[in-house]
Amino acid sequence: MKSRKPMAIVADIVKYVVLIAGALFTLLPFVWMVLSSLKSANEIVQIPPTMIPREFMFSNYAEAWAEAPFPRYFLNTVFVATVTTVGVLLTSILSAFAFSKLDFPGKKIIFSLFMATLMIPGEMLLITNFITITKLKWIDTYKAMIVPWLANVFYTYLLTQFFSNVPDALYLAAKVDKCSDLKFLFKIMVPMNKNAITTVAILSFIGSWNSFLWPLLVTNSTNMRVLSHGLVRFQSEAGTKYQLVMAASCILVVPIIIVYLFLRKYILEGMSYTGVKG
Amino acid sequence: MKTKKLMALTMAAVMGASLLTACGGGDAGTTTAAAGGDESGIQPVTITFWHGMNNKQEQSLTELTNKFNAENEYGITVELVNQGSYSDLQTKLMANAAADTLPDMAQAYNNYFTDYVDKVVALDDFVKNDYPDWDDILESYRTENSEYGKITGVPFNKSTYLFFYNKTMFDELGLTAPKTWDDLKHIGEVIKEKKDLAAIGYDSMCDMLEAALRQHGEQYVDETGALFNTAGGLETVQFIMDLYNNGYARLVGEDNYFSDSLSNGMIGGYVGSSTGVSYISTDIPGKEFELGVAPVVGDVKNAAYNAGTNLVMFSKDANKQKAVWEYMKFITSKESTLKWAMDTGYLPIRTSAYESDEWKNFMAQDITAQAAYEQSPYGFVSKASFTGSNEIRSVVSTTLNELITEKADAQTALDTLVAAINDVLE
């Protein structure tokens, strides 16, 4: 075994110290959330704050859990986020393929019109979309929470850019081999852009998971509400019960961590491809 | 804030368009209390009530409503729908006003419906024909609910701003709760000198300004603009800026509420909502203190800022209107308002409730209730029935924060505030 040069050892030590410091720094908010969720009402407002709770108040979890029907909210959120994500992937992939590889009249104009809609602030659409949903009598249904988000111009644009990078020669070669457009799309195009598509899926899922205003607008019954609505129940006009917010957040973050563990590889690759900050 | 403004603009556009298309439709869109006061023959019906109450407040509201549902003789069922926080409720009402799908009734501040006041059912006839003791309701609440030239609602969850202070610290320094502006300055001096702390803070800067102006016999704002560009206005602003420039008062910063500072012994006292008392901890180890609660100070007059929403009716159906009115009568009754106030920390809305034995017994153990009672004759509600009133609130708070941070002199502060308010209304 070859003995290592002292310089290399020092470099390694510096590298790991920096990495560990970075890891701790990133973990801190999460650790803080968990520790805060176990503090008592008077300890959470104490200045300077304590790191480790004097007394572990596991009752915060029971109290937070009892405040809203979280299991139902959880199911609703998962369902809405999943269906929205699958739907938005389908529409984005199909339209991105059309814009990048197919020739049809008015392609450039339609694409420009698509892009132009990115300039309209979401708030402007809120009320008009709401009125549409009301006229369709979709209030208080899953449809109302899902259908308006099934197409997304930004994701279409993102995927169009990725698909455009795939050489036309591949597409034409497939054509020569009598491969249909759809077959080419799902057998070649999609696997080649796996990472970009995963990124879109993750962004869409997180967006849907965190959405608050729209689901609130289009639902009225407790059965149809989502997790983000549960979290605001600890706020009032005169203050916020932070220990309960933290306890509820801890409960809610568990499923996200599980998803992350399964998809870790794709998420990291996807992020580095698009430069989206995690 | 920007979100709300954009949405309001969109809504105005949508409603304008619907007016055009509904041109020949007669008065179908305007709601009047055709059924006002005729309580005979209400058919069994379910009415929807949107609210923004959470925790123990929601619990108490549910208990009251269950009682009404079980006991009313008409077969009326009130369905409570929680719409999140006030701001969520406001957004939701705005969108539903545009889509013409408002609930039968809702909690609302007057500034929620400046853009759709025609959709709020006028309650004048109901009050006249079927509300035996309207005058028993505190005057400031009656005034507030008549601001639009018709009775738009009945008062519901009402709170007031009180002075919460560290009584242990005050006792130690030989201080008592301030009653006048001069007292306040004195307390500021002593606490600054002996403890190097600010003596006072205000949770809401715009409400503080309006209360101070009224205490000094001045007026604040109406739909024409700022009304305090006067000698008295300058004196008021001078008083406020002195408090801050001398270090007697400080800004709340990122905490949003002073309850945490008071709990940690980092301020002598603060003016905040009576409902916030449950957020004050007096038992942090090493920082224990006795809490004192007092009415807010007065100057040439006493004036205390009242907050809290009213219940408004949107239903267009005559039978439902009558049902909603039955519920409104129930929820504003002496018995209900007492239970509500004792459960939640809100205040009774009736003089008779304030003077009842139940409330007196309750006050004997509840210093917050006691202080609220003491200042109840001086309560006022900020005028909010004109377009821009909502935005003025945030503009005044932001401007005051900036002026105090810059340690501006009184004349600059006054000019800047007046200009900022008038800008909103132009």
| Pick from B3, B84, B259: CB nearest A216 | B84
Task: Give the tens place of pLDDT for each residue, B69-115.
Answer: 999 999 999 999 999 888 899 999 999 999 999 999 999 999 999 99
CB atoms within 10 A of CB B181: 21
Q: pLDDT digit string (tens) for B379-423?
A: 999 998 898 898 999 999 999 999 999 999 999 999 999 999 999
Number of neighbouring beta carbons within 10 Å of residue A163: 22
Distances (CA, A) of B66 to A72, B69, B82: 24, 5, 15
Candidate from A45, A135, A216 with C-beta closest to B92: A216
Find the residue in A nearest to B53 (Cα). Answer: A236
Cα–Cα distance between A215 and A227 in angstroms, integer? 10
Distance CA A8, CA B412 (A): 64
CA angle, B280 as apex, A31 and A44 as ends, to 5°?
Answer: 10
Helix, strand, coil percent content, chain A, rounded in steps of 5: 75, 0, 25
Q: Could you say which DSSP state residue B202 is in?
A: B
Task: State the nearest Cα–Cα gap between B50 and chain A, in angstroms.
Answer: 9
Assess B91–A contact: CB distance below 8 Å, yes or no: yes
Question: Which tokens sit at A144?
Answer: 């109302």
Helix axes B55-71, B318-331, angle to 10 degrees: 120
Across the interface, whether the CB atoms of A131 and B98 are under 8 A apart is answered: yes
Query: How many angstroms separate the CA of residue A230 from the nearest CA in chain B?
Result: 9
* Interchain contact, B88 vs A237, CB within 8 Å: no
pLDDT per residue as tens digits for the range B161-194: 999 999 999 999 999 999 999 999 999 999 999 9
Task: Quickly list DSSP for B22-40.
Answer: TGGGTTTT----TTTT--S
Q: Please, are residues A78 and A58 in contact by the beta-carbon 8 Å criterion?
A: no
**Closest CA relative to residue B7, chosen from A221, A122, A103:** A122
Q: Is the pLDDT of residue B375 over 70?
A: yes
State the complex-level ipTM.
0.79
**Is the pLDDT assigned to residue A273 strictly greater than 60?**
no
Burial classification of residue B73, based on how many CB atoms lie within 10 Å of its CB (0-12 exposed, 13-18 middle, 19 or more buried): exposed
Rounded to an integer, what distance in angstroms lies between the CA atom of residue B403 and that of residue B422? 17
Contact between B25 and B115 under an 8 Å Cβ cutoff? The reply is no
Using the predicted structure, report yes or no on whether residue B144 has a pLDDT greater than 60: yes
Indicate the pTM of the whole model: 0.85
Number of Cβ within a 10 Å radius of residue A154? 15
Per-residue model confidence (pLDDT) at position A278: 39
Element (H, E) at A60: helix A59-67
- DSSP class of residue B347 equals B
**A131 vs B: CB within 8 A:** yes
The candidate with the shortest Cα–Cα distance to A81, out of A129, A12, A146, is: A146
Instruction: Tell me what pLDDT residue B22 has.
Output: 43
A213 contact residues in B (CB cutoff 8 A): 88, 91
Domains present along chain B, CATH in parentheses: 43-158+309-369 (3.40.190.10), 160-305+383-425 (3.40.190.10)
Distance from CA of B234 to the nearest CA of A (A): 31
Give B356's contacts (C-beta < 8 A, 6+ positions apart): B334, B338
The strand ranges marked E within B99-248 are: 105-108, 153-166, 200-201, 221-222, 225-226
Determine, for residues B10 and A130 on separate chains, whether the beta-carbon distance falls below 8 Å.
no
Q: Is B83 within 8 Å of A43 when comparing Cβ atoms? A: no
Tokens matching residue A197: 């598509």
Identify the pLDDT of residue B329.
96
Region A68-236: CATH code = 1.10.3720.10
- Measured CA to CA, the distance from residue B257 to residue A241 in angstroms comes to 13
Per-residue model confidence as pLDDT tens digits over A58-87: 999 999 988 889 889 989 999 999 999 999
CA A95/CA A89 separation, integer angstroms: 10
- Domain ranges, ordered by start, for chain A: 68-236
Q: What is the mean pLDDT of residues B139-148?
A: 94
- Residues of A with CB below 8 A from B62's CB? none
First to last CA, chain A: 40
Chain B within 8 Å of A29 (Cβ-Cβ)? no
The minimum CA-CA distance between A207 and chain B, rounded to whole Å, is 18
The 3-state DSSP class for residue B120 equals: coil
**Tokens matching residue A231:** 């979290």
- Per CB-CB distance under 8 Å, the chain A contacts of B115 are none
Report the sign of the C-alpha dihedral through residues A99, A103, A108, A114, in that order.
Answer: negative
**Contact between chains at A239 and B283 (C-beta distance less than 8 A):** no
